[in-house]
Amino acid sequence: MDLQLIRRLSIPADSKVVLCVLDGLGGLANYKGRTELDEASTRHLDRLAENGALGQTQPAGVGVTVGSGPGHTALFGLDPFEFEIGRGALEATGIDFELGPNDLAARGNLCTVDGDGNITDRRAGRVATEITEEIATLLSSIELPDAEVFVEAVREHRFVLVIRGEGLSPEVSETDPQEEGLPPLLVTAKEPAADRTADLVNSFVEQARALIAARDQANHLLLRGWSVRPSLPQLPELWKLRAAACTVYPMYRGLAQLVGMDAIDGGDSLETQFDALKRHWDDYDFFFVHFKATDAAGEDGDFARKVQAISDFDRQLPQLMELEPDVLVVTGDRSTPAMMAAHSWHPVPMLISGTNVRTDSARSFTELECVTGGLGTIPATELLPLAFAHAGRLAKYGA
């Protein structure tokens, strides 16, 4: 649904809507011809499927595999191609670094170079996170004219660089030559307005190199994905509601905050997440609950662990149902089939349960039932409008 149309038709209501995202939910059949959803114990989800309606979402169109950024942007109802979140901004979001309006972020890698300055390992042997933390502290001491520097370790060789200052531009080139045997590149401005930014970055890299050049490993660095805080439409304004994100992982909390949701403390498990929903039930109209274990297991190619993760979610579901949401949506941001040990382009199973749902013939929550479900196969961007329609939050169009 077009954002102008949402603004025009959205109306307040007393209903509660919960969106549960089982990251990487969609799967593929194993050698027995059964998917992770087929094999999982999904007694409660199956009952919801029986009384509700099923369908599938396409995060970004046929054949497109999405990262976490566009996967969630789409679920939040925003065109993932129009509203792109830069890699640096996403990485900052993932470590809970809240980007301000004057911040320029890059994703950094520690790397190793030889005596001639040519890269021998773009990931510095996936150096331990603790080492990266030490180096990050060291690099944070670098001083730039009229700008502040923040360096924060992410995991292994990865870190985030944020430069804070007036008039910084993401229109600068990356230092990563994308192959070994070459030296890191100097940064150049892609437009005149970025000249100062390029100078600052080159100065940062030169000082950083001096600080770590003596190391055997992780003696240089690569910077890419220059980006500023993305300016995304805000769900509370679009939909005239109060929205809360309840996640365990900071990246998903950060993504939700970028579209204007408040973060409520999800603790470290589904149980603490659903507890948080209960505590804040009266404070919000819409709750986004993110569950990571399905995706992590899928990416690791661990079929049994993904089955277990789905079963765990199902076992915990009654705790959510006790809150009696008017509309409950269960879906994923994408498919992450354990058989592929990777994210994929396959459509994502979707379930809507609650008020005014037109029931279909489905008796269980599986990929196969979702194919013929009553909700059809829709762009993920249409999921929130559909959920909010069921919740009485969309006025009629035209007389």
> Residues interacting with a copy of itself, by CB under 8 A?
1-2, 5, 9, 28-29, 33, 56, 60-71, 80-81, 84-85, 87, 90-91, 225, 337, 339-340, 343-347, 356, 358-361, 367-368, 371-374, 376-378, 382, 385-386, 388-389, 394-399
- Nearest-approach distance from CB 58 to a copy of itself, in angstroms: 9
> To which residue do tokens 């773009």 refer?
122
- Nearest-approach distance from CB 54 to a copy of itself, in angstroms: 10
- Nearest-approach distance from CB 337 to a copy of itself, in angstroms: 8
Nearest by Cα to 348 from 125, 151, 158, 66: 66
Choose between 89 and 208: whose C-beta lies nearer to a copy of itself: 89
> To which residue do tokens 């009229």 refer?
146
- Nearest-approach distance from CB 52 to a copy of itself, in angstroms: 12
Choose between 281 and 345: whose C-beta lies nearer to a copy of itself: 345
φ/ψ (deg, to 5) at 212:
-120, 5
State the Cα–Cα distance between residues 133 and 84, nearest whole angstrom: 29
- Nearest-approach distance from CB 60 to a copy of itself, in angstroms: 6
Asked if 56 and 370 count as a contact pair (C-beta separation under 8 A), the reply is: yes
Choose between 150 and 345: whose C-beta lies nearer to a copy of itself: 345
- Nearest-approach distance from CB 382 to a copy of itself, in angstroms: 4
- Burial (Cβ within 10 Å: 0-12, 13-18, ≥19) of residue 172: buried
Q: Angle of helix 250-258 relative to helix 68-75, nearest 10 degrees?
A: 50
State the Cα–Cα distance between residues 285 and 373, nearest whole angstrom: 27
- Nearest-approach distance from CB 362 to a copy of itself, in angstroms: 10
Choose between 44 and 346: whose C-beta lies nearer to a copy of itself: 346
Asked if 365 and 371 count as a contact pair (C-beta separation under 8 A), the reply is: no
In the structure encoding, which two tokens stand for residue 204, read together? Answer: 């940062």
- Nearest-approach distance from CB 347 to a copy of itself, in angstroms: 8
Residue count of the chain: 399
Choose between 263 and 368: whose C-beta lies nearer to a copy of itself: 368
Nearest by Cα to 243 from 215, 196, 280: 280
Choose between 80 and 260: whose C-beta lies nearer to a copy of itself: 80
- Nearest-approach distance from CB 312 to a copy of itself, in angstroms: 24
Chain-centre distance of CA 209, in angstroms? Answer: 32
**DSSP bridge pairs for 22:** 291
> To which residue do tokens 């497109």 refer?
64
Choose between 60 and 351: whose C-beta lies nearer to a copy of itself: 60
Choose between 69 and 108: whose C-beta lies nearer to a copy of itself: 69
- Nearest-approach distance from CB 286 to a copy of itself, in angstroms: 15
HSE (CB half, 13 Å, CA atoms) of 172?
30
Neighbours of 59 (CB within 10 A): 26
Dihedral sign, Cα of residue 30, residue 31, residue 33, residue 38: negative
Choose between 56 and 219: whose C-beta lies nearer to a copy of itself: 56
Choose between 26 and 276: whose C-beta lies nearer to a copy of itself: 26
State the Cα–Cα distance between residues 24 and 272, nearest whole angstrom: 21
Contacts of 237 by beta carbon, 8 Å cutoff, 6+ apart: 7, 260
